[in-house]
Amino acid sequence: MDLAQFIRDIPNFPKEGIIFKDITPLLKNATAFEESIAQLSEPYWDMGITDVVGIESRGFIFGAALAIELGVGFIPIRKPGKLPGKTTSEEYSLEYGTDTIELHTDALNMHSNVIICDDLLATGGTAAAAVKLIKSLDAHIAGLSFVIELEFLNGREKILDVPIYSLIKY
Ligand code: AMP
């Protein structure tokens, strides 16, 4: 099944010059959504995965389904001020300004072997920050998985030491 047919381009969203890759048609189609989770899970069977870490907010949709598929727990990485317990945070640069993501400090430890999941890899800034957060808790990262990768933005170059998997490449 070609999942790319379920991705819709929305030009100039959220601002001029950006072509937004809209995943909502994929989510609405039960077969395509199920297939995307089957494909995301493929590299990880028998790898001793303990948790899937999803990045707010579209990473929650795919990450939670992937966690259920693999029979492991789900851990959210969230925007600042959303997680109620003690958190560790990581700031990273955007095109203009900075952003921050947070993770509960008791969510992972040296025995954890996790997957990071998000809908899309663009510049890699968000994913690289997620890698740092997880490593700060001494957890091992088995891989990063994305539904979509914008290869022309070279996000992979920011994350050289962890395998990266993506289903649809542009
Ligand atoms: P980056 O940190 O540049 O890799 O950006 C990744 C995050 O921004 C992901 O959580 C995506 O959901 C979102 N994102 C960036 N570019 C796009 C795009 N063209 N279409 C949809 N989402 C995007």
Residue 12 inside a domain? The answer is no
Within a domain: residue 56?
yes
78 inside domain: yes
Any domain includes 109: yes
Q: Does a structural domain hold residue 33? A: no
Q: How many domains does the chain have?
A: 1
Determine, yes or no, domain membership for 148.
Answer: yes
- Provide the domain limits for residue 88: 44-169
Q: Which of 120, 123, 156, 166 to mutate to test the pocket of ligand 1 (most atoms within 8 A of CB)?
A: 120
Tens-binned pLDDT, residue by residue, of the chain (170 aa): 999 999 999 999 999 999 999 999 999 999 999 999 999 999 999 999 999 999 999 999 999 999 999 999 999 999 999 999 999 999 999 878 999 999 999 999 999 999 999 999 999 999 999 999 999 999 999 999 999 999 999 999 999 999 999 999 99
Tell me the catalytic residues. 58, 95
Q: Which residues contact ligand 1 via a Cβ below 6 A?
A: 18-21, 55, 58, 118-127, 155
Note whether residue 154 is domain-resident: yes
Which residue's CA lies nearest to atom 17 of ligand 1? 20
In the 3-class helix/strand/coil scheme, how is the chain assigned residue by residue? CCHHHHCEEEECCCCCCCEEEECHHHHHCHHHHHHHHHHHHHHHCCCCCCEEEEECCHHHHHHHHHHHHHCCEEEEEECCCCCCCCEEEEEEECCCCEEEEEEECCCCCCCCEEEEEEEEECCCHHHHHHHHHHHHCCCEEEEEEEEEECHHHCHHHHCCCCCEEEEEEC
Q: What is the CATH number of the domain that holds 135?
A: 3.40.50.2020
